[in-house]
Amino acid sequence: SKGIQIEGLSKRYGSGNTAVDALKNVNMQVAPGEVVGLIGPSGSGKSTLLKSLGAVIDPSAGRMTLGDKVIFNEGWQVPDLRALRRDKIGFVFQAPYLIPFLDVTDNVALLPMLAGMPNSESRKRALELLTALDVQHRAQAMPSQLSGGEQQRVAIARGLVNRPPVILADEPTAPLDSERAMAVIRILNDMAQQYQTAIIVVTHDEKIIPTFKRIYHIRDGVTHEEAGEGRGFD
């Protein structure tokens, strides 16, 4: 895996007088094994960048590589992109979209099951992550019975369970207290190390910002890189 490479990425919404340049020549690299922060005010282009990587929208210009695959070159369309990025990216969304009729374990175990892993092994892997996230006592609960913080931790487990080479996390720690936020960061760093995952964490969370070694700031669609405090997570 070569991690994430973004070169000269631009996105224009609309055209003419009402055009919005949401990304302007963005360059970004995340190495395998690295966890980087992406920080910027509302409207700065964070979602547009994640949606470009996730093939939800097609960028206007530039080039992107995930792992060993080119997933975007100028002129490519979203349907091409979706096929290419399948199985490559784990998402941790801000609002946890859990499946209401599956219990917590099966919400997490579903992806490995669909990928062909035996049910018992999928559930075992799900439980390991739920334990690491301190929500194992809710393993048999239904999503509607969980608190917001518990739902968020289950959604994190689901985003990580398939050990994808790339993880995009959108405000993963927002509803969590310090201790649990740090546990999430520790797990992301462990995953990165163990499986050579490249991880981007979009965040405003002052609790976790000092843990990053490298941070991309984004403002009006322009990114710049900065060394973080890199204090770690213990």
Q: Name the minimum Å distance from CB 134 to ligand ADP.
A: 25
Alpha-carbon dihedral sign for residues 110, 137, 182, 46 = positive
Alpha-carbon dihedral sign for residues 222, 227, 228, 230 = positive
Residue 15 makes contact with ligand ADP by CB under 6 A: no
Q: Name the minimum Å distance from CB 44 to ligand ADP.
A: 4
Residue 46 makes contact with ligand ADP by CB under 6 A: yes
Q: Name the minimum Å distance from CB 224 to ligand ADP.
A: 15
Residue in 213, 211, 202 with CA at minimum distance from that of residue 183: 211
Q: Name the minimum Å distance from CB 154 to ligand ADP.
A: 16
Residue 47 makes contact with ligand ADP by CB under 6 A: yes
Residue 59 makes contact with ligand ADP by CB under 6 A: no
Task: Look up residue 57 and give its DSSP letter.
Answer: S
Give CA–CA dist 6/23, Å, rounded.
12
Q: Name the minimum Å distance from CB 81 to ligand ADP.
A: 10
- 11 burial class (0-12, 13-18, 19+ CB within 10 angstroms)? buried
- Scanning residues 87 to 106, which ones bind ligand ADP (CB under 6 A)? 91
Whichever of 54 and 164 has its CB closer to ligand ADP, that residue is 54
Query: 123: which residues sit within 8 A by CB, 6+ positions away?
Result: 105, 106, 109
Give CA–CA dist 6/225, Å, rounded.
13
Q: Which stretch binds ligand ADP (CB under 6 A): 26-34, 43-51, 111-119, 144-152?
A: 43-51
Give CA–CA dist 218/108, Å, rounded.
32
Residue 216 makes contact with ligand ADP by CB under 6 A: no
Q: Name the minimum Å distance from CB 10 to ligand ADP.
A: 12
Residue 22 makes contact with ligand ADP by CB under 6 A: yes
Query: What is the dihedral angle through the alpha carbons of 83, 95, 162, 112, rounded to the nearest 10 degrees?
Result: -90
Residue 42 makes contact with ligand ADP by CB under 6 A: yes
Q: Which stretch binds ligand ADP (CB under 6 A): 50-58, 178-186, 209-217, 226-234?
A: 50-58
Residues that bind ligand ADP (CB under 6 A): 13-14, 20, 22, 40, 42-48, 50-51, 54, 56, 91
